[in-house]
Amino acid sequence: MLNRLDDMLNFHTQALRVRDQRQQVLASNIANADTPNFKARDLDFNTALQGALKGAGTAAGMAVATTAPGHMKGAPGVGADAGLLYRTPSQGSVDGNTVDMDAERAAFTDNAVHYEFNLTRLSQQIKGMLAVIQG
């Protein structure tokens, strides 16, 4: 029963983690808009989410070390550098920086709205489950 509950909440939890990770990557891009030779990065949300759902994100060195057979594996998550790609610059600049401020800010806002969406859906699921449990 508990496992099913976990399965139900799992999708949006993992989506939130990927959104969380992506928000940080985009924040790094915006922060480095004036840094020479900085290359803007992003992650492909679809691939990252599939990876997180399958637990493949742990392959990137984020797995919890287990020293005894009884130890738990830890929650699969998004790896630090898992699936981080470099953006193709739309307009090159002389200092080698590839941050396009408009694109980054649009992506940042878009990601924030999607994060809120996932949060709302998760909240609704929890409320729904509580209603069922409490009758």
Residues in contact with other proteins by CB under 8 A are 20-21, 23-25, 27-28, 30-36, 38, 80-81, 84, 101, 105, 108-109, 112, 115-116, 119, 122-123, 126-127
CB nearer other proteins, residue 30 or residue 63: 30
DSSP string, 85-116: EEPPPSS--TT-----HHHHHHHHHHHHHHHH
Q: How far is the CB of 32 from other proteins (least distance, A)?
A: 5
Q: How far is the CB of 53 from other proteins (least distance, A)?
A: 18
CA terminus-to-terminus distance, the chain: 17
CB nearer other proteins, residue 68 or residue 126: 126
The 10 Å Cβ neighbour count of residue 72 is 7
Rounded distance between C-alpha atoms, residue 8 and residue 15, angstroms = 13
Q: How far is the CB of 105 from other proteins (least distance, A)?
A: 7
Q: How far is the CB of 25 from other proteins (least distance, A)?
A: 8
Q: What number of residues does the chain have?
A: 135
